[in-house]
Amino acid sequence: MRWRALRQPGGCYAESPVPSRKLTVPAIVARKASKEKLAVVTAYDATFARLLEEGGADILLVGDSLGMVVQGLSTTLPVTLDDILYHGRAVARGAERAQVVGDMPFMSYQVSPEEALRSAGRMLKEGSFEAVKLEGGVRFAEHVRAIVSAGIPVMGHVGLLPQSVHAMGGYKVQGADDAAAERIVADARALEEAGVYSIVLEGIPAALARRITESVRVPTIGIGAGPDCDGQVLVCYDLLGMYQSLRPKFVKHFGEIGRGIVEATRAYVGEVKSGAFPTPAHSFGGQKPRTAPPEPTGAKAVVETVPPVYGPASDEP
Ligand code: KIV
């Protein structure tokens, strides 16, 4: 990590706790005016975080989608705050530049603004997150206000709300009729008023997403909301072609890593069974003796053994 020394007209500040390459909340908000789209991806561990960041992701979201793609559940509802904290710490270790945002799981913020603030505080203190995301608009504006007033950045989320799957009657596109569309516009405005720095628009008609994007001052991040949002978000297992259980219309596979995993595993299994793997190149030889200099008294030299160490592997035989 590189650290930035801040120099201000009235004095010189010590090193900033914000690494110089980190994408900050003000930089994210500024993307609205600059029109450079925000590329957001979910991540759940350090290795993926590092690779997705190397690919240019601006924001890594530890989504409660981890319930479905990592834990194998059919909804996000059972995901706990401790689950999110665990994956947040892992992702934060892999991310140097991307902002790391954590999803507030079901029932970690709904009961009261106080409980929402307490949960959000744990997300920063114990999950290493830089911002939190929660689902809902008008109904949760007070909760957002409480979190924001404690200095914790909040990303809103309106439209299709996976934590309300039973109330919605399934994962269905929202805002299809005029009244429903007006409610979603009101939700986005209420969140903006409450101080969010960005808003996810999920599963709504493209025209409605465009209208909301044009009417709020903070960036919108679409998923199943058409091309006119200020950014896009995808679940990493979807964009990499690794999750086969559900493939909504808005998902595009930018790779077929799932197939690659199956093929690589088949090759490994084949070589293990045939005995082709491991070769001598993947094996440790005998221990090398190390001879200590003879004692001045003429005592016998001591022969120590050097334990083998793990080093870089080579495919060369
Ligand atoms: O849980 C999640 O991954 C999300 C995004 C898909 C927006 O909420």
Considering only CA atoms, which residue is closest to atom 4 of ligand 1? 63
Residue with tokens 């082709």: 276
Q: State the pLDDT at residue 13.
A: 55
Q: State the pLDDT at residue 303.
A: 57
Look up 36 and say whether it is catalytic. no
CB distance 213 to 223 below 8 Å: no
Residue 23, φ and ψ in degrees, nearest 5: -80, 115
Q: State the pLDDT at residue 20.
A: 61
Q: State the pLDDT at residue 5.
A: 45
Considering only CA atoms, which residue is closest to atom 5 of ligand 1? 63
CA of 300 to the centre of ligand 1 (A): 68
Which run of H or of E encompasses 272? helix 257-274
Residues with CB under 6 Å of ligand 1 are 42, 61, 63-65, 103, 200, 202, 223, 233, 235
Q: State the pLDDT at residue 299.
A: 59
Which of 155, 181, 159 lies closest to 250, judged by CA?
159
Q: State the pLDDT at residue 292.
A: 57
The single residue of 53, 130, 192, 202 carrying the catalytic annotation is 202
- Most ligand 1 atoms within 8 A of CB, residue of 66, 87, 100, 103 to mutate: 103
CB atoms < 10 A from the CB of 146, how many?
Answer: 21
Q: State the pLDDT at residue 285.
A: 85
How confident is the chain (317 residues) per 10-residue block, as mean pLDDT?
45 56 96 98 98 98 98 97 98 98 98 98 98 98 98 98 97 97 98 98 98 98 98 97 87 96 98 97 76 60 64 56
CA-based radius of gyration for the chain: 25
Atom of ligand 1 nearest to the CA of 76: 1
Look up the pTM and report it: 0.88
Which of 227, 234, 195 lies closest to 213, judged by CA?
227
Atom of ligand 1 nearest to the CA of 200: 7
CA dist 285 and 214 (Å) reads 66
Residue 99, φ and ψ in degrees, nearest 5: -75, 140
Considering only CA atoms, which residue is closest to atom 3 of ligand 1? 63
Which of 100, 85, 80 lies closest to 18, judged by CA?
100
CB distance 109 to 68 below 8 Å: no
- Output the CA–CA distances (angstroms, integers) from residue 265 to 42, 76, 260, 283, in the order listed: 25, 29, 8, 20
Structure tokens at 249: 């219309």
CB distance 74 to 243 below 8 Å: no
CB distance 39 to 58 below 8 Å: yes
